[in-house]
Structure 1
Amino acid sequence: MRRVSRGLLAAGIAGFTGSALIATLWATEPGRLPTRTAWAFAGLIFVGLAWAALAAWTAWKRPLFADDRVIAGWLAVVFTTATTLVTAVVAGPLVAGPGLLMITAAVIVLVRARAYRDRLRSQVAALERQRGQ
C-alpha cells in the first residue's frame, strides 16, 4: 500500500465516519424524515463516501502524476459549489458569503493541483526525449 497524504487520509476517515454516523442516525429515526432532511442526509452520505473512496483508491492504486490531487480538487469545487447553492436557495443569498470563500479556496486548490500534475508530465516527457537521444 502506498503512502497517502495526511490531508487526504484525514478527509477519507472523516468522510467515512461522517457517512456512517449520518446513516446510523437516519436508520434509527422512529418516523419518516421530512423530504428535505432525507435529501440532505443522502447528500452528506454521498459526499463522505466520495472522499473515503478517493482516499482508498489513492492508497491502493497508486495514481500517476498527482491525479489524486486533481480529483480531490474537483471534488472540493463540486461539493462546495453544491453546498453553497443549496444554502443560497434555502436560507437566502446573503448567507452564501462563506461558501463563496470556500469555492474560491477550492478553485485555487484545483488550479495548483493541475499545475503540479502538468509540471510532472512535462518533466517525464523531457526525460523520455532525453532518453531517446
Structure 2
Amino acid sequence: MSRPAPIPTAHYFGCEHGAGHYLFAPRMASAAWNPFEYLDAKLAPKDPAQRQFVAQAWRLYGYSPAGWGGASALSWWDRSVDRRKGSNSIIFAPGLTVTAENLVVLLERFFPTVAARLPHPLEILPGFQELRK
C-alpha cells in the first residue's frame, strides 16, 4: 500500500500574544487571506461550560482555499492568551482525510508556541463533525 503524500502546510486561527483572533501560516507568519474568519467560535465543542482544551475535529466542505479540496480542522476553547469567554483556537489542514491526531502533530510542527500552551495529551472528542457550505 502506498503512503499518502505529506501535508505541505497547515494554518492556525487564534491568538498569538494578546487578545484578537487572526489566521497564521506556519511559524506564526501572518496570512494575507482568511477564508476561515467566519468560522470563529463556530467549530469549538458545543459545550455550555466551554471547557478549555477539549477539542472537536471537523471535515469542512467548501470552506477552504482553492486547491485544498476541503479542509480538516481541530478546534478547542482556548483562553491561554485571550481570557475572554468565546476565545478559541483552530488548526486547519488541507484535505478531508487528516486524522485528529495528525492535526495535533501539524500544530506541534508548524505552531510550536501554540502547542506548548496545551495540556498533553489534548482531550479530543470522538468522531468528526461535518460542515458544508
TM-score bin (small chain)? under 0.3
Q: TM (normalized to structure 1)? A: 0.24
TM-score (norm 2): 0.24
Determine which structure has the larger helix proportion and give its number: 1
Name the structure where strand makes up a greater proportion of residues: 2
Considering only CA atoms, is the larger Rg found in Structure 1 or Structure 2?
1
More relative contact order in 1 or in 2 (CA 8 Å, sep 6+)? Answer: 2
